[in-house]
Amino acid sequence: MKSPFNYKHLYYFWVVAKEGGITRAADKLDMAVQTVSAQVRELEKSLGYALLKPAGRGLVLTDAGLAAMQQADQIFQLGEDLPTKVRDAVSSPTVRLSAGISDGLPKLVVRQLLQPVMGEPHLRLLCHEGEFDDLLGDLALHRLDVVLSDRPAPTNANLKLYNHALGSSAVSWYGSAALVKAARKTFPASLAQVPVLLPTEHAAVRTRLDHWFEHHGIRPRIVGEFEDSALLKTFGESGMGVFPAADCMHDELLAHYAVQKLGACEGVKENFFAIGTEKKVQHPLVQRLLLSSALSPN
């Protein structure tokens, strides 16, 4: 049976490797050569591999020793950084919130959804955008505190997650001034003649938009599909086509993009959710998000 792993033994080995020999390492550590040598042998015994081998009058690392040295470098570099990290944490207190942002969620909505926590004086917000399923996996592994999405997490016995509705928003059509003028008179039938931009199926609202077109008997002239909502709006602003957007973004949309509202997409809504893990101690800022939904259903 192998001896239990001992970080003290690893540290002595690390110093030997850095100093290039046991004698120099013993001098640096102010210890007897025999003691340092014995500690390294204990490490080799616990790992089950020789880490050093003779080479001329000195020692060199074996392949196993090289692998151990790479890990030891990371471990003890982190240890050397620890006092600074602790000092910085005490002198500059922060409240860290790691949020996953589903790639189907409109970017202009994200800040509104996070508005309840933005007043935290020592907030350090980390936003990670990614595909919905990948974010749920990171959430389950506690790499994220919360996931914001345009759809709820599906039921999965292996992933103990909960869904909290943050609100919903009606959807309207927007476009450049020229396109809105051309399409307004016969809207919504005009969406079969003017160019249309749509989100891809990454966005939950895409299915509802397709059903809306079918319900109205419209075959849209789709000229572009975008995973990134900000990119969709940028091309819409350029006059490439009219595009759908949540009404809750109306003021920001008009402030940031040179577009106008064409008309309502009656019956279509975008829904917004916070997804978290079921645990006894909840992150205080996640609790604040759930208690103070930034969007009201409309």
Map out the domains of the chain as residue ranges: 7-90, 101-167+273-291, 169-272
Per-residue pLDDT tens digits for 46-79: 888 999 888 877 788 899 989 988 888 888 878 8
The fold adopted by the segment(s) 7-90 is Arc Repressor Mutant, subunit A (1.10.10)
pLDDT average, residue stretch 258-270: 96
Domains 101-167+273-291 and 169-272 in one fold: yes
Dist CA 60 CA 41 (whole Å): 15
**Share of residues in the chain with pLDDT > 70 (%):** 92
Dist CA 298 CA 296 (whole Å): 6
pTM here? 0.65
CATH architecture observed for domain 169-272 = 3-Layer(aba) Sandwich (3.40)
The answer for residues whose C-beta is within 8 angstroms of residue 151's C-beta and 6 or more apart is 102, 104, 132, 204, 271, 273
Which of the four pLDDT bands, split at 50, 70 and 90, describes residue 278?
A: confident
The answer for residues whose C-beta is within 8 angstroms of residue 60's C-beta and 6 or more apart is 52, 53
The fold adopted by the segment(s) 101-167+273-291 is D-Maltodextrin-Binding Protein; domain 2 (3.40.190)
Helices 22-29 and 7-19 pack at an angle, to 10 degrees, of 120
Token code pair at residue 86? 């602790």
If you count them, how many residues does the chain have?
Answer: 298
Per-residue pLDDT tens digits for 207-222: 999 999 999 999 999 9
The answer for residues whose C-beta is within 8 angstroms of residue 198's C-beta and 6 or more apart is 206, 209, 220, 222, 224, 225, 226, 232, 243, 244
Dist CA 199 CA 244 (whole Å): 8
Per the DSSP assignment, residues forming a β-bridge with 130 are: 102
